[in-house]
Amino acid sequence: MATGSWADEEDELPPTRIIDNKDGTKLVISYKFNEDNKKVQITQKIKHTMIREHVHPAVAARRKWKKYGAEKDKPEGPDLSTTQIGDPVQLKLSFNMKQAELEEEEKQKAEQKSTTINVFKCRYCGGEHFTARCPYKETLGSMSQSTASNPPPEDESSGNAGGSGGSGYVPPHLRNRKPGEASSGGKFERDDSTTLRVTQLNEIVDEDMIRHELFGNFRSIQRVNLVRNRETGKSKGLAYVAFATISDAERALEMYNGKGYHNLILQLEWSKPKK
């Protein structure tokens, strides 16, 4: 019996002691068995700090409301068994973060290469943009419609003949032309002498902002064509603004070239260099 009592005393751990220090801290001394089944002592120094939280008076008053229902007679403050503090965040940690970043960079590079290869071409002017956003859609579109509705004759001799054999339709600006004479334009040629090329535009700027905000003092704006990214639809910071007269275009060029607009410095120039 004496041996068993002595073994029980060896297996028991000393009670935890708490010592209050003069500086306001507490010294907690506890004991436990380690992995080798040896008794070890753990000493912890604890300091209690009071943090005052300043909240709105309405929030403080709401915290003092009496609880009801399943929370009746419960102490103040949220009960973790019935109240969820904060929103759950789904966080996935991986040991191969660098590998994932490299794969993401390679994926982006591959997408950029595919984007560079698959270039859209406008049906009107052959530019790298959507046909619907072609700045020359009005002019070239009308020309294509005229050509489609009035196809040229299959035989030039029959087209130039004026007999009763039925000649093909010749547009007015192509009539009375000598053989081999180059086209001089005609009424379908677009006049860009009053068009300004505006660059360094912010991405948030759209056609309405250009027409009514940037050039709001000019009521003679004929059209505004903003160049956009073919995939994202975002602005590329480039626009073409056509005015009714050359004098208005010159005045706008002098007023806004080099001026700041939405944190960027505008650059204005003629879309067609002056001779």
pLDDT attached to residue 162: 44
User: Torsion over CA of 177, 179, 182 and 188, rounded to 10 degrees?
Assistant: 40
Domains parsed from the chain with CATH numbers: 16-47 (no CATH), 115-146 (no CATH), 195-270 (3.30.70.330)
Would you call 267 exposed, middle or buried from its count of C-beta atoms within 10 A (0-12, 13-18, 19+)? middle
Tens digit of pLDDT for each residue in 97-153?
677 778 888 888 877 765 544 456 777 777 777 777 777 777 666 665 555 555 555
188 with 253: CB under 8 angstroms?
A: no
Tens digit of pLDDT for each residue in 141-196?
666 555 555 555 555 444 444 444 445 677 666 666 665 555 444 444 566 788 99
Model confidence, pTM: 0.34
pLDDT at 232 over 50: yes
% helix / strand / coil in the chain, to the nearest 5?
30, 20, 50
pLDDT attached to residue 1: 41
